[in-house]
Amino acid sequence: MRLSATVFICALASAAVLVESSVAARTDAAPELSPSVARYLQSVGFETDDIAALGSGRSAARVTETSTRELLGVVAVVRVNRPVLRYVDALRDIVTFEKGGNGVISMGTFSKPARLDDVSGLEVADVDLEELSRCRVGSCDMNLPAAAIQKFRAVKWSAPAARAQARHALQTTLVDYVNDYLARGNSALVVYEDRGSPMPLAARSAALFAGSDGLASLGGLAAYFTKYRSLPLPADAEEFFYWQQLTFGMKPVTRVNHLVIIPQTIDGRPAWVAVSRMIYASHYFRDGLEVRYLVPVDASPSSNAFYLVLISRSHSESLAGLKGLLLGGIIRRKVRDSTARHVAHVKERVEERP
């Protein structure tokens, strides 16, 4: 989003505390958008003035239409005045690129297979520690499957070592989950059992990919994710898994993401696509998908600028029910503005890299 102070989660936090901001700008500058990018932005509601303003380096974002009220979609775009490979290299070294800024408490990548050392920096926040001591299947304030809830129930909460035991339970839960996902694919995706009826992630996560290739074909990436472990990684693609703990609002959020990066040609330009699928989130959202199209301003291999188009989708229970009726419009507006700020932050970070 910084790739991963995940846009949706941080935006929801901003909505909760009613942070006001606007990133809209209007100039007469003309951006060098490729035809596919220009058509896509117009199709999701960007006005002519919004698109013209991009040439000056300002970001813009729009909330997109979705099939259900709890599904939130946003598209954001910004021009980055550096070669596209500068950002691709930043994604490859995402911990260095994101750690220590914009709400990131700690983060790291997972080995294959995942090891406990991979999550040595992951802690349990005080607010989560208190909630986990009361956690039961069907009644828990953290997003968790039943097996993880049972781990926390086994913690001796009255003992001095309770925090260390809870930390170990969280760390082993994530390591075991990633290894199960690596072995069994989508059939291993979490079934949340923290409240109400069990909520399997697999079908909901697959639904996020519907129409995600509206700007350009994902080149088999959507199928790779929705049939994960049944299909090989596409040629020239690279992937890794990482975790983040983010701070904002009233609660920190722990996330696990599966990221795939692949080169692609869009309108004759040497572009890249990065797809990040959130396979676990401890609060606010159950899943998430971010598709980043990185499209140079021209077809030259030495092009020194590119457009970042970020398509983001996620399911949130805060948008359903009475809360959704009362706060849905506010949340969507805050998400829109926060997403625009996010891509502007990416631009700043990439442009300052040596």
The C-alpha atoms of residue 352 and residue 231 are separated, in whole angstroms, by: 38
Q: Which residue has the tokens 């598709």?
A: 291
Q: Which residue has the tokens 């006005």?
A: 47
Q: Which two tokens stand for residue 49?
A: 């003035």
Q: Which residue has the tokens 């995402």?
A: 94
Element (DSSP H or E) covering residue 296: strand 288-296
Quick one: CA dihedral 282, 285, 291, 294, positive or negative? negative
Q: What is the DSSP letter of 208?
A: T
Share of the chain above pLDDT 90, in %: 61
Judge whether residue 10 has pLDDT over 60.
no
Q: Cα–Cα distances in Å, from 46 out to 60, 62, 74, 151, 332?
A: 8, 7, 12, 48, 16
**At 262, is the pLDDT very low, low, confident or very high (cuts 50, 70, 90)?**
very high
Cα angle: 57, vertex 88, 31; to 5 degrees: 25
User: Average pLDDT of the chain?
Assistant: 86
Q: Is position 221 within any domain?
A: yes
Which pLDDT value is given to residue 35?
A: 93
> Can you give the residue range of the structural domain that contains 215?
7-352
The C-alpha atoms of residue 23 and residue 15 are separated, in whole angstroms, by: 16
Q: At 230, which CATH number?
A: 3.30.530.20
Residue 55: partners with Cβ closer than 8 Å, 6 or more residues away: 27, 29, 30, 31, 32, 79
Least confident stretch, 128-142, 207-221, 315-329: 315-329
Q: Which amino acid is at 122?
A: L
Q: How many folded domains does the chain comprise?
A: 1
The C-alpha atoms of residue 208 and residue 291 are separated, in whole angstroms, by: 11
Contact 259, 243 (CB under 8 A): no
Quick one: CA dihedral 331, 290, 107, 111, positive or negative? positive
Of 169, 184, 185, which is closest to residue 128 (Cα–Cα)?
A: 169
Contact 344, 23 (CB under 8 A): yes
Contact 167, 124 (CB under 8 A): yes
Residue 179: partners with Cβ closer than 8 Å, 6 or more residues away: 113, 114
Q: Is position 51 within any domain?
A: yes
Contact 22, 337 (CB under 8 A): yes
Q: Is position 249 within any domain?
A: yes
Which pLDDT value is given to residue 251?
A: 83
Digit-coded pLDDT (tens) for 16-72: 433 333 333 333 334 689 999 999 999 999 988 888 889 888 899 988 866 566 788
Q: Is position 2 within any domain?
A: no
Judge whether residue 258 has pLDDT over 80.
yes
The C-alpha atoms of residue 80 and residue 272 are separated, in whole angstroms, by: 14
Digit-coded pLDDT (tens) for 267-283: 999 999 999 999 999 98
Judge whether residue 161 has pLDDT over 60.
yes
CB-based burial, 116-150: b 16+ in 10 Å, e otherwise: eebbeebbbbeebbebbeebebeebbbbbbbebbe
Q: Which two tokens stand for residue 250?
A: 């009233």
The C-alpha atoms of residue 13 and residue 253 are separated, in whole angstroms, by: 10
Q: What angle separates helix 162-184 from helix 146-153, to the nearest 10 degrees?
A: 160
Which pLDDT value is given to residue 89?
A: 96
Which pLDDT value is given to residue 100?
A: 65
Q: Which two tokens stand for residue 16?
A: 């909760």
The C-alpha atoms of residue 155 and residue 151 are separated, in whole angstroms, by: 7
Q: Which amino acid is at 184?
A: R
Contact 52, 31 (CB under 8 A): yes
Digit-coded pLDDT (tens) for 201-256: 999 899 899 878 889 988 789 999 999 999 999 999 999 999 999 876 678 899 99
Q: Is position 306 within any domain?
A: yes
Digit-coded pLDDT (tens) for 332-350: 677 777 788 889 889 999 9
The C-alpha atoms of residue 43 and residue 340 are separated, in whole angstroms, by: 18
Q: Which two tokens stand for residue 152?
A: 């926390």
Q: What is the DSSP letter of 150?
A: H
